[in-house]
Amino acid sequence: MIIDDSTIILHTLYELLRPKYRVLAATSGEDGLLVANQIPPPDLIILDVMMPSLNGYETLIRLQNNSATQNIPVIFLTGLADTENEEHGLQLGAIDFITKPFAPSVVLARVRTHLEAKQARDWIKNKNALLEAEVTRRMTENNLTQRVSIRALAHLAELRDPETGNHILRTQSYVQRLANGLKQHPRFTETLTNQYIELLTLSAPLHDIGKVGIPDHILFKPCALTPDEWIIMKTHAQLGSEAIELAERDIDEPLMFLSIAKEIAHWHHEKWDGSGYPDGLVGNEIPVSSRLMAVADVFDALISKRIYKSEMTINEARDIIISGRGKHFDPDVVDVFLDGLNDFVAIAERYRHAT
């Protein structure tokens, strides 16, 4: 497109460029802005500097401020041959200057060069857009595959303990709620980043994967376990972390979500005072992920019916969680649980009868 208030210049450039290009013309900056907003927009603008009303510099500024036209390359056409004006135009975003009177061969060469450059930029931009779309598609596909695989493994464990119902869905949501409630807390802010919380939520369903290794006569026993049976039952924590560790060995680079899943599986039965299992960790020795799962797991177990017990009321479960503050559970995790108790009750109701 040519923008120039001189009809002689417009006619001269039009006749020069028409044999090779589709040429649009405007006799003022205002008209040029209207034409530039057409679809498709021009690939190159030759813009006169000295025009009445809206000069070339002002026109270029408006082109640059419009997202639809800001990427159109502009060549200034001017009778001002001084360096200061040229520098000013280039600073505003012009790509070149053609000085009047101009040689036709120079105009043709400049136009050809800048159109080829724009064509190359557009090609790269389109390629990049296609590559970004493909990367996004593959990442989405990988994330979906990852989530489905985790849920499949978690449901495998759930099938071995069918009375837990939607335990994995509820505990996953409990853990996410606890993490979001703690992420601004000084003790947790360094660990509980948005990425960590996302991976923690993804990993949480694998906390009881080790139950696939517990014999049926123990896992499905309708009454209290003997001391020897309880020793075997407690091995599910170790079995779960070992299974995830074996999966880690099959990949070239470690995946953070597997590391978190291994932590949760191994240590979610540890207690703040060191009386838990399997390793008797104390306080902050217990990974953050496992401390969150400890509260989530116990709360859900208390309010759920099992073959060996009836469900408790929310108030009864809350009181037990409170009594475990600083003993079984990290005190700050309990405080966030109590502050958000209504949210946890809503989660429990949401997944109580879901399939």
Residue 224's SS3 state is coil
pTM over 0.85: no
Is the pLDDT at 53 greater than 60? The verdict is yes
Is the pLDDT at 121 greater than 50? The verdict is yes
**The predicted structure's pLDDT at residue 355:** 41
The answer to whether the 2-127 and 160-350 domains have the same CATH topology is no
Q: Which residues contact 278 (CB under 8 A, 6 or more apart)?
A: 234, 235, 237, 238, 266, 267, 269
Q: How far apart are CA 176 and CA 198, in angstroms?
A: 8
Q: How far apart are CA 46 and CA 112, in angstroms?
A: 12
Residue 217, Cβ neighbours under 10 Å: how many? 9
Assign 110 a pLDDT band (cuts: 50, 70, 90). very high
Q: Which of 206-210, 284-288, 306-310, 343-347 has the lowest mean pLDDT?
A: 306-310
Is the pLDDT at 151 greater than 70? The verdict is no
Superfamily of domain 160-350 in CATH is Hypothetical protein af1432 (1.10.3210.10)
265-278 average pLDDT score: 97
Is the pLDDT at 143 greater than 80? The verdict is no
99-120 average pLDDT score: 92
Quick one: CA dihedral 93, 96, 98, 104, positive or negative?
negative
Across the chain, mean pLDDT equals 89
Domain boundaries, the chain: 2-127, 160-350
**The predicted structure's pLDDT at residue 141:** 74
Query: Which residue would you say has higher pLDDT here, 168 or 228?
Result: 228
CATH topology of domain 2-127: Rossmann fold (3.40.50)
**The predicted structure's pLDDT at residue 148:** 66
Residue 98's SS3 state is strand
Q: What is the pLDDT of residues 278-317, one digit of tens each?
A: 999 999 999 999 999 999 999 999 998 877 788 899 999 9
Q: Which of 87-96, 147-156, 211-220, 286-295 has the lowest mean pLDDT?
A: 147-156
Query: Which residue would you say has higher pLDDT here, 128 or 345?
Result: 345
What is the phi-psi region of residue 274: left when phi exceeds 0, alpha when psi lies from -120 to 50, beta otherwise? left
Q: Which of 26-35, 75-84, 126-135 has the lowest mean pLDDT?
A: 75-84
Query: Which residue would you say has higher pLDDT here, 288 or 71?
Result: 288
**The predicted structure's pLDDT at residue 90:** 86
